[in-house]
Structure 1
Amino acid sequence: MTDLQSMRHRIDELLRHERRADERGVVEALGRLCRTVCADLDLLGSTVTLMPGVGAHAVSAVSSETARRIEEAQFGLGEGPTRDAFTSRRPVLVGDIERSGLQRWPGWVPAVSETGVGAVYAFPLHVGATIFGVLTLYVGTGHRLDAEGLQRALIFSEVATEYLLDGSMPGDGHALDPGLDATLDTNAYVYQAQGMVMVDLGISLPEALARMRAHAWATGRDLTTLAREIVEGRAMPPRDGR
């Protein structure tokens, strides 16, 4: 058995050990993976975010609510490592976000500084040309992943991709895993709200999304929460763009 095979076997055993008897579906399995990778690599947090289209996202699994807030901040601001890993289809590895990430993500880095995140590693979940989303790992200030840690992280991303393939195999005659289906439904609110803002303010669709992001950030909401409130008639970005 090679070193990589041994590492994969160990990670499979860790994930098997952490599986609960009542676990159901891909979303719960991804949540278990997020918690397990955090324990194995001593992380601040981890997330799996699905991105079914340009501008669309769904934070499907998280290790903690802190990790969810760090992740969601990217989509409210329109910048961050998960987005970059998805669009480039390449891992984003930043061992010191204050030194190496501030110029790249001038809004996101200050926004998450109070959470204690100091390094970030984002791995696209893809098979060939098909990309599902991103596994993002957040490391506390003063720490970073070494070469072995990066290899283990990559294996966790491979397992996450396998979970997603199991839950959504095209042409196999099965519906999308219910947990994934419910998670992706959150995007419907963003799309619907974007259209409502476009009509109400008389602006373009991209400008409507930009206004929503700005208003969500200014009012301390995440983008999905604001979108729900817009659809329900309880909120609307102001005409002055603030």
Structure 2
Amino acid sequence: MRNTRRSFLYHDVATALRARIARGTYPPGERLPSLSELMEEFEVSAITIRRALTELTYEGLIRGHQGLGVFVKEKPRIHRVLAGDPDRSIGDEIARAGFTPRLEEIGFSETTADDDIAARLRVPRGSKVFTHQKLTFASDEPVALHILHLRPRLAKQLRDDLSADFIFRLLKKRKIAIDNLRCEFSSTALGEEHSSRFGLPAGAPMMRVDYTMSTKAGAPLMLGVTLARADRFTFEVNLPQRKARR
């Protein structure tokens, strides 16, 4: 009987629909189930469903089209260009997409280099390094997590501004020359340890960029990992063609 089954309030319906949108069950541009279908699934009244949909509309997740239904709203993608220009930060590209960029520091700590970090930084295993973590927001939505591993001297130079500025822009301000940026791109799934930071379920698709910044002499100064939402970013790599020798 209906009265023996679970009864949902409008915020429970909104929470369930929000989670489905976040994990891609209802991808951008897709129509949500009809009012009658949602009423039957959640066993609530039409007014409860409408209140839940109104809440998601205010949040910018959905929009209604007269006579067609309610659709998941498509958000502009953030176009990240890697072209060797330190003036082009991820914050600038978030702003160009129509959002307000914001940084939030998660942590800064002294750690010891494991085998991978030691090899990439060219330091003995167990050497002291500093690890910095921060989230990047597009308006109020967390879209990327950045993890930096820095040599102690560089960490001391940058510490005061690491939490408030994007790394390429900060390096230019401090006149620290980075002559080579090596990037590796891969896809990954969001882990349990970071899912709450993004407000997404574990297993959500993510883009991963591992990078090493080095001097002209080839000495690595810092390592970085960026985890970016796969549904919010497009990465572009600009590779100028070398002129043929004559």
Q: Which has the higher strand share?
A: 2
TM normalised by structure 1 equals 0.26
TM normalised by structure 2 equals 0.26
